[in-house]
């Protein structure tokens, strides 16, 4: 049964082609045909068609103020800027500060033929900040790479963003340097970094050996300890690869809980396929959003439940899920949205906490709807702010789209943008590659 007609891209020639989202017995698939390169079919949602449609039920435009930085010439996805018809707003702006990296992960979405020496200087980076400001917004800013901590001047890059008015400055990192160099970490914090997005694929070395090629479990713990010492929050970012770490989803949540309050959240990213591939990834090499949600419930023995998670507020809600939890007095996570929320900690009045959560997090966060953050907390009384920061954990996830499963309607609702020297490009368009590794952008 056809659930939706949309458009997608041919994985070979990157031409825009018609596509259908169809329900079959085993799940929901995206199917498409290029007249030159044949038929393609990819699993989108290993769950029922009903659950696919229900997830989208409350969708609406969202993601904060948008922009209109590019003219429409060839149509979506070739005119990103964002262009006039983009519906997604800007809830995170990502600036690549280097192409260098101290790891060689086979699954890296940023891997590219770019010359590592062609690193943007600080003036170019400031110029990119100003491109974001042209949209009239100062969204949460992620400094990314490559590995941004390879730059000795990263603290100055952070300070420059702060001077321009960016408040929620985040660093995407593998943590290698931050495990060893606490002085550098302190400087980042002093200069304005609010949260680290730490690559964190699991709690055991075999997972890191399989995904990253080296054992890193102790390194990750060292980073978190250092962050705890300097007072910097961490969001754990696991890339979930079927057959490798999908059985650790519950253990990652338990690990995060054990390290609260320095760990503020977990942001799961089901693996997507960017880069050069000799053949199409099979559906068993994919894990889809309902599978991650079911694993969360099953592997935590129901401590977090599928019903605790909300879709992203967006024209198409299939890009993300988020749940916001507080630590109950019995040491269990409780959804802040559940009717029976049991916020009974003595240090903060339950009603005030509930009101706070409803204001900022109901039913999904109003601004940073993809990656919940605490960026609107300035107006909250300090006592309550401290309580919430010390007792809350966000669990969220985003299945990025690749050339095999991309739905251009969904892309037009994207609110995570990579900033170039002229424009803002939705993340999944920016990193998208054809089967031979050719990129749409850069
Ligand atoms: S992805 Fe958005 S900004 Fe890019 S071309 Fe499509 S609608 Fe325009
Ligand atoms: S980055 Fe990709 S998955 Fe995330 S919101 Fe944008 S289009 Fe959706
Ligand atoms: Zn083609």
Q: Greater confidence, 142 or 376? A: 142
Q: What is the C-alpha to C-alpha distance for residues 46 and 55, in angstroms, rounded to an integer?
A: 13
Return the pLDDT at 378: 44
pLDDT, average across residues 41-67: 78
Return the pLDDT at 62: 54
Asked whether residue 70 carries a pLDDT value surpassing 80, the answer given is no
Instruction: Fill in the DSSP letter of residue 192.
Output: T
Spell out the alpha helix ranges (H) of 259-335. Answer: 289-299
Residue 273 CA to ligand 2 center (angstroms) comes to 14
Q: Mean pLDDT across the chain, nearest whole number?
A: 86
> Ligand 1, closest atom to CA 88?
2
Q: What b/e sequence results for 306-320 when a residue is b if at least 16 CB atoms lie within 10 Å of its CB, and e otherwise?
A: bebbbbbbbbbbbbb
- For residue range 157-175, list pLDDT tens digits in order: 999 999 999 999 999 999 9
- For residue range 324-364, list pLDDT tens digits in order: 888 877 788 988 766 655 444 444 545 556 666 555 544 43
Name the nearest CA neighbour of 77 among 413, 374, 421.
413
Mutational pocket test of ligand 1: of 6, 86, 409, the residue with most ligand atoms within 8 Å of the beta carbon:
86
- For residue range 395-434, list pLDDT tens digits in order: 999 999 999 999 999 999 898 999 999 899 999 999 999 9
Residue 431 CA to ligand 2 center (angstroms) comes to 11
Cβ(209)–Cβ(168) below 8 Å: no
Q: What is the C-alpha to C-alpha distance for residues 318 and 310, in angstroms, rounded to an integer?
A: 10
Residue of minimum CA distance from atom 8 in ligand 1? 83
Q: Is the dihedral of CA 225, 228, 230, 232 positive or negative?
A: positive
Asked whether residue 6 carries a pLDDT value surpassing 80, the answer given is yes
- Total residues found in the chain within this entry: 442
pLDDT, average across residues 38-51: 95
Asked whether residue 373 carries a pLDDT value surpassing 60, the answer given is no
Return the pLDDT at 380: 54
Return the pLDDT at 358: 58
Return the pLDDT at 383: 63
Specify the 3-state DSSP secondary structure of 210: helix
Q: What is the pTM of this model?
A: 0.91
Structure token digits, residue 199: 């690559």
Cβ atoms within 10 A of the Cβ of 243, count?
10
Return the pLDDT at 105: 80
Cβ(317)–Cβ(59) below 8 Å: yes
Residue 295 CA to ligand 2 center (angstroms) comes to 22
> Ligand 1, closest atom to CA 81?
3
**In the chain, count of helices (H) and strands (E)?**
13, 17
Q: What is the C-alpha to C-alpha distance for residues 198 and 220, in angstroms, rounded to an integer?
A: 8
- For residue range 102-160, list pLDDT tens digits in order: 888 877 766 644 566 679 999 999 999 999 998 888 999 999 989 999 999 999 999 99
Return the pLDDT at 22: 97
Long-range contact list for 281-285, CB < 8 A, 24+ apart? 281/404, 283/42, 283/43, 283/46, 284/242, 284/243, 285/242
Return the pLDDT at 179: 98
Cβ atoms within 10 A of the Cβ of 224, count?
24
Return the pLDDT at 197: 97
């Amino acid at each position: 049964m056809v659930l939706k007609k949309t458009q997608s891209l041919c994985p070979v020639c990157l031409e825009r082609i018609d596509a259908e989202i169809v329900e079959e017995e085993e799940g929901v698939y995206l199917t498409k045909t290029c007249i030159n390169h044949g038929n393609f079919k990819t699993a989108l949602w290993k769950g029922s068609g009903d659950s696919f449609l229900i997830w989208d039920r409350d969708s609406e435009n969202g993601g904060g103020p948008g922009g209109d930085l590019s003219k429409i010439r060839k149509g979506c996805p070739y005119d990103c800027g964002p262009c006039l018809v983009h519906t997604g707003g800007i809830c995170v702006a990502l600036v690549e500060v280097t192409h260098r990296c101290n790891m060689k992960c086979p699954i890296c979405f940023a891997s590219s033929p770019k010359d590592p020496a062609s690193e943007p200087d600080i003036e170019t980076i400031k110029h990119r900040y100003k491109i974001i400001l042209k949209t009239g917004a100062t969204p949460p800013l992620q400094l990314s790479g490559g590995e941004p901590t390879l730059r000795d001047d990263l603290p100055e890059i952070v300070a420059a963003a702060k001077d321009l008015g960016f408040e929620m400055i985040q660093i995407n990192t593998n943590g290698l340097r931050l495990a060893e160099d606490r002085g550098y970490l302190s400087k980042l914090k002093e200069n304005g970094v609010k949260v680290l997005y730490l690559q964190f694929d699991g709690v055991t070395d075999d997972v890191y050996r399989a995904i990253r090629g080296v054992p890193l479990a102790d390194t990750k713990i060292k980073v978190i300890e250092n962050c705890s010492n300097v007072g910097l929050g961490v969001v754990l970012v696991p890339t979930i690869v079927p057959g490798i770490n999908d059985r650790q989803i519950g253990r990652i949540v338990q690990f995060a809980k054990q390290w609260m309050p320095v760990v503020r959240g977990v942001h799961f990213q089901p693996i997507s396929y960017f880069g050069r591939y000799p053949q199409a990834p099979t559906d068993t090499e994919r894990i889809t959003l309902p599978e991650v949600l079911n694993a969360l419930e099953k592997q935590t023995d129901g401590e977090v439940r599928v019903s605790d998670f909300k879709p992203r507020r967006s024209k198409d809600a299939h890009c993300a899920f988020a749940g916001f939890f507080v630590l109950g007095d019995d040491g269990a996570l409780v959804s802040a949205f559940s009717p029976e929320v049991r916020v009974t900690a003595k240090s903060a009045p339950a009603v005030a906490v509930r009101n706070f959560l409803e204001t900022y997090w109901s039913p999904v966060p109003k601004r940073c709807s993809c990656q919940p953050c605490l960026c609107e907390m300035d107006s909250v009384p300090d006592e309550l702010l401290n309580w919430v920061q010390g007792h809350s954990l966000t669990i969220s996830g985003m299945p990025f789209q690749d050339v095999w499963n991309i739905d251009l309607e969904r892309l037009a609702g994207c609110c995570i943008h990579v900033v170039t020297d002229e424009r803002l490009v939705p993340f999944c368009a920016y990193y998208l590659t054809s089967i031979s590794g050719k990129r749409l952008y850069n």
